[in-house]
Amino acid sequence: MNRHALLIVAALLSTPCLAGQAAPKADAGTTVQAARPGKAAIASSHQLATDAGLEVLAKGGNAFDAAIAVGATLAVIEPQSSGIGGGGFFLLHRADNGKNVFLDARERAPVESRSELWADAEGKLDKDKSVNGPLSAGIPGEPAAYVWLAEHYGKLPLAGSLAPAIRIAREGFPVYPRLHMSIERRKPVFTRWPASAKLYLIDGNAPATASVWKNPDIADTLERIAKQGNEGFYKGEFAARMVDAVRAAGGIWSLADLSDYTVKERDPISLDYRGWRIVTSPPVSSGGIALGEMFNILAGYDLGKYDRVHRIHFNIEAMRRAYRDRAEYLGDPDYVKMPVAELLSPLYAAGLRASIHPDKATPSDMLPGYMPPAESEHTTHYSIIDADGNMASVTKTVNLTLGSGFVVEGTGFVLNDEMDDFALLPGQPNAFGLVGGDANAPKPGHRPLSSMTPSFVIGNDRVGVIGTPGGSRIITMVFEGILAFIDGELPAQVVAKPRYHHQYLPDVVSAEPKAFTPEESKALQAMGHIVNNAERTWGLMNMVSWDRKSNTLHAGSDPREEMSSGKVQ
Ligand code: DON
């Protein structure tokens, strides 16, 4: 088939509305579990956070209380990745009724948002404004998530679940290398605002590795939230203080933006793949739809008949096609109409599969459209199963390293720079090459499109809770992790596994060291793949699992980060 013909076929095949009638796949995904684990498993990016979760479980809390404790502790000790000034997604499984719920605590665009604010004099995206300072900050969702979790899912009062984080903030904790390096990297931005420099720098430098770092301001902020709930953050004196500081430094937050913020409960996306149910993230995450397309494409192959190189080839081709669709159709589900059922339909996947040559890479420029996704380096994921079988899969973020770098005096936390996940100016790439259009424009109240993909993998005997940071690579990491888990690997093996990634554009397979043998690389190159071997490592995957047959729990934390910690207790 010549290039032109392939383009036309691919265009037809990849138009979801032409793919036929399909049963909608987004549902509440009820699952029934046979027994309770009797013990708990937690994996997070830092031992203090994992221990905070276990402490709250020991006090009589459940997985949802532990999700607050781990999350708030990470907000204190891992500010480079997530925090009170950011947002996230909380995928929850309740053992008592088998229900799965996706709690969307994503940031929202302030009502005064309009694209021109992020343009320079020539109409080009002003990249400083989109990632640094208060104009880059959306309205935070993380505080509201904790209040919601405690009110609707937890067994303990919010103060009980926040207690470990508050204590650690007051008593201090040893600075670890990744934190030190992150603060050092953001030093030039912190020095622009006295409150930021005061919180993060000592005599103009990042706190030394192994020195004890305290943050009494965030302890006060968390205590206020514990006592007053949403009122203590989104309303009253504290809200006014944030709005005044943001506006004085050039931002556009208003009191109404804060008081109007609410988390949203959404139905997760549920996918069936070879007898397994995957419960995952719906829009405003792009992850669940991309995973759905990839698994649906793979489901049509008799994979047992193929060698490892061909299986990798099919995975890469599935990634390429899913990422092409990723940003074209997706945005905030409260405002943007999306062809979710069509994108998740097996018929649509069959069309995509038909365009995959069994032995040859499809050059990305033969597929229609152009939509490379964002990538960035900080965010955090943790996974929890409690003794009753409740589960929490949480990915949360302030977007880039230490978010916007902007701190409101005395609050103890940095505001996110999540506005950069919008297509701030149509067709102009953001800091990570993302271009987008109207579906992901920074309109008042909208949530920016995300790649974060907290997920559950549910089989007859084994259940996994999985997720990772890693920007656009999150989705392929979760994809490969789920495949490895389905193949029988334990969490410790799944999270350590070398990764590879293709995101449609650039048309390159990124591979971690040891992802492919030299022979496999050669074979993939012979098929036409451009393989970028040993490019770097990425991700910080934390996974727990429960084998219901043997009633054993497992926790795996990513060996790429020395502080990460998975425990069963
Ligand atoms: O929501 C998103 O997709 C991004 N803000 C996530 C950023 C991220 O994962 C950076 N990670 N290492």
Instruction: Give the model confidence (pLDDT) of 367-378 as tens digits.
Output: 866 444 444 458
CA of 84 to the centre of ligand 1 (A): 16
Is the C-beta atom of 440 inside 6 A of ligand 1?
no
Tokens linked to 297? 């494409």
Pairing state between β 542-547 and 552-557: antiparallel
Residues 6 or more apart in contact with residue 204 via CB below 8 angstroms: 187, 191, 197
DSSP letter, residue 418: G
Q: Evaluate the omega torsion of the peptide bond into residue 506 and state whether it is cis, within 30 degrees of 0.
A: yes
Atom number in ligand 1 closest to CA 374: 3
CA of 374 to the centre of ligand 1 (A): 8
Atom number in ligand 1 closest to CA 399: 5
pLDDT at 32 over 70: no
- Residue-wise pLDDT for 466-517, tens only, equals 999 998 899 999 999 999 999 999 999 999 999 999 988 889 999 999 999 9
Distance of alpha carbon 375 from alpha carbon 473, whole angstroms: 7
Query: Other C-beta atoms within 10 Å of 20: how many?
Result: 13
Three-class secondary structure of residue 500 per DSSP? strand
Q: For a ligand 1 pocket test, name from 281, 330, 375, 399 the mutation site with the most ligand atoms within 8 angstroms of its C-beta.
A: 399
Distance of alpha carbon 517 from alpha carbon 509, whole angstroms: 14
Is the C-beta atom of 285 inside 6 A of ligand 1?
no
Active site residue 221: no
* Predicted structure pTM score: 0.93
DSSP string, 71-129: HHHHHHH-TTT--TTSEEEEEEE-TTT--EEEEEE--B--TT--GGGGB-TTSSB-HHH
CA of 375 to the centre of ligand 1 (A): 7
Tokens linked to 82? 């997530």
- Residue-wise pLDDT for 47-63, tens only, equals 999 999 999 999 999 99
Distance of alpha carbon 293 from alpha carbon 319, whole angstroms: 9
CA of 471 to the centre of ligand 1 (A): 4
Q: Report the pLDDT value the prediction gives residue 377, as an integer from 0 to 100.
A: 53
pLDDT at 11 over 70: no
- Residue-wise pLDDT for 407-461, tens only, equals 999 999 999 999 999 989 987 877 665 566 788 899 999 999 999 999 999 999 9
Average pLDDT of the chain, as a whole number:
91
Distance of alpha carbon 222 from alpha carbon 336, whole angstroms: 34
Vertex 209: Cα angle to 207 and 213 (nearest 5): 50
Q: What are phi and psi of 360, to 5 degrees?
A: -135, 135
Packed helices 63-77 and 216-228: angle between N→C axes, nearest 10 degrees: 150
- Is 102 in contact with 91 (CB distance < 8 Å)? yes
Three-class secondary structure of residue 213 per DSSP? strand
Average pLDDT of the segment spanning 255-283: 98
pLDDT at 4 over 60: no
Atom number in ligand 1 closest to CA 395: 9
CA of 87 to the centre of ligand 1 (A): 11
Is the C-beta atom of 378 inside 6 A of ligand 1?
yes
pLDDT at 6 over 70: no
DSSP letter, residue 139: B
Q: For a ligand 1 pocket test, name from 178, 451, 468 the mutation site with the most ligand atoms within 8 angstroms of its C-beta.
A: 451
Average pLDDT of the segment spanning 138-143: 98
Is the C-beta atom of 451 inside 6 A of ligand 1?
yes
User: Could you tell me the pLDDT band of residue 330, with boundaries at 50, 70 and 90?
Assistant: confident
- Residues paired with 450 in a beta bridge: 285
Distance of alpha carbon 473 from alpha carbon 451, whole angstroms: 8
Atom number in ligand 1 closest to CA 418: 5
- Is 403 in contact with 415 (CB distance < 8 Å)? yes
- The catalytically annotated residue of 50, 73, 379, 397 is 379
